[in-house]
């Protein structure tokens, strides 16, 4: 064994070490406090909003971060509007706001104070189906059915968009005549994904309603 190491605690060394520990602890507490502050929303965390859903006025107090989709499903228990990708890519959550179709998973509920929202629950009943619902049944426009509410909500809007002459793409000629062709319908329905692959039957259902209402 080697010679023992001589070590002497000096007052200056002890004070410096204690100060370093204290500074380190204070810095850690400050960093933790700053992290918590960064995660805490500024301003009010909740808002009270009023919106009309399927013809019924609703007043709700919701977290400002709540999406329209979660408000419909969790607060109002309208579970017909489905949560699929939760990123606006599949269309399962499609509903209409003031007559325009939207992906409700991408829209905050507080943005719709005073708006009129329609979900699949507000379209027809089991004893009195909407024409589009009846056409989906008649043409086997679904398999698992998970995407079907969003498909129907989009399909109804698509026919209204075409009849109103609203272009599916923004072009220089906004007055261009819109024709109700298969390709036009497919393009407008492209935001609604059917993982079962019932696209041809969905197209047949939409075409059937279009012909009946021509």
Residue 139 counted as domain residue = yes
pTM attached to this predicted model: 0.75
- Residues contacting residue 166 through CB under 8 Å, at least 6 positions apart: 178
CATH number for 72: 3.10.20.30
**Spatial separation of the C-alpha atoms in residues 4 and 19, rounded to whole Å:** 29
3-state secondary structure of 27: helix
Among candidate residues 82, 97, 122, the one where a domain is terminated: 122
Within a domain: 83: yes
Q: Which of 188, 118, 197 is nearest to 155 (CA)?
A: 188
- N- to C-terminal Cα separation, the chain: 102
Between 154 and 14, the higher pLDDT residue: 154
Do 161 and 188 fall within a single domain? yes
- CATH number of the domain bearing residue 203: 1.10.150.120
Quote the CA–CA distance of 64 and 84 in Å, as a whole number.
Answer: 22
Note whether residue 33 is domain-resident.
Answer: no
**Structurally, how many domains does the chain consist of?**
2
Q: Is residue 85, in this structure, part of any structural domain at all?
A: yes
Q: How many CA atoms lie within 13 A of 87 on its CB side?
A: 3
Tell me which of 122, 142, 170 is where a domain ends: 122
Residue 71 lies in a domain: yes
Each residue's pLDDT tens digit, 102-157: 999 999 999 999 999 999 999 999 999 999 999 999 999 999 999 999 999 999 99
Arithmetic mean of pLDDT, 173-202 = 83
Domain that holds residue 166: 131-212
Do residues 118 and 135 both lie within one domain? Answer: no
Question: Is residue 171 domain-shared with residue 112, that is, in the same domain?
Answer: no
pLDDT averaged over every residue in the chain:
86
Q: Which of 64, 87, 122 is the last residue of a domain?
A: 122
Q: Please state whether beta strands 46-53 and 116-118 pair in parallel, antiparallel, or not at all (unpaired).
A: parallel
Same domain for 90 and 136, yes or no, is: no
- How many residues are recorded in the chain? 214
- 35 found inside a domain: no
Among the residues of 55-181, which ranges form H helices? 68-70, 131-138, 148-163
């Amino acid at each position: 064994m080697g010679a023992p190491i001589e070590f002497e605690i000096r007052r200056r060394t002890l004070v410096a070490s204690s100060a370093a520990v204290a500074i380190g602890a204070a810095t850690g507490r400050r960093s933790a406090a700053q992290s918590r502050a960064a995660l805490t929303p500024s301003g009010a965390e909740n808002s009270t909003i009023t919106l009309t859903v399927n013809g019924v006025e609703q007043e709700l107090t919701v977290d400002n971060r709540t999406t329209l989709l979660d408000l419909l499903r969790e607060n109002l228990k309208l579970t017909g509007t489905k949560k699929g990708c939760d990123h606006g890519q599949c269309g399962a959550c499609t509903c209409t706001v003031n007559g325009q179709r939207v992906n409700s998973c991408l829209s905050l509920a507080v943005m719709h104070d005073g708006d009129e929202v329609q979900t699949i629950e507000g379209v027809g009943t089991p004893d009195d189906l909407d024409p589009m619902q009846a056409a989906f049944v008649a043409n086997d426009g679904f398999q698992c059915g998970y995407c079907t509410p969003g498909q129907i909500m989009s399909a109804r809007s698509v026919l209204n968009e075409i009849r109103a002459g609203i272009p599916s793409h923004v072009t220089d000629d906004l007055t261009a005549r819109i024709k109700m062709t298969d390709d036009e319908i497919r393009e407008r329905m492209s935001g609604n994904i059917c993982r079962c692959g019932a696209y041809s039957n969905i197209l047949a259902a939409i075409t059937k309603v279009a012909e009946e209402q021509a």
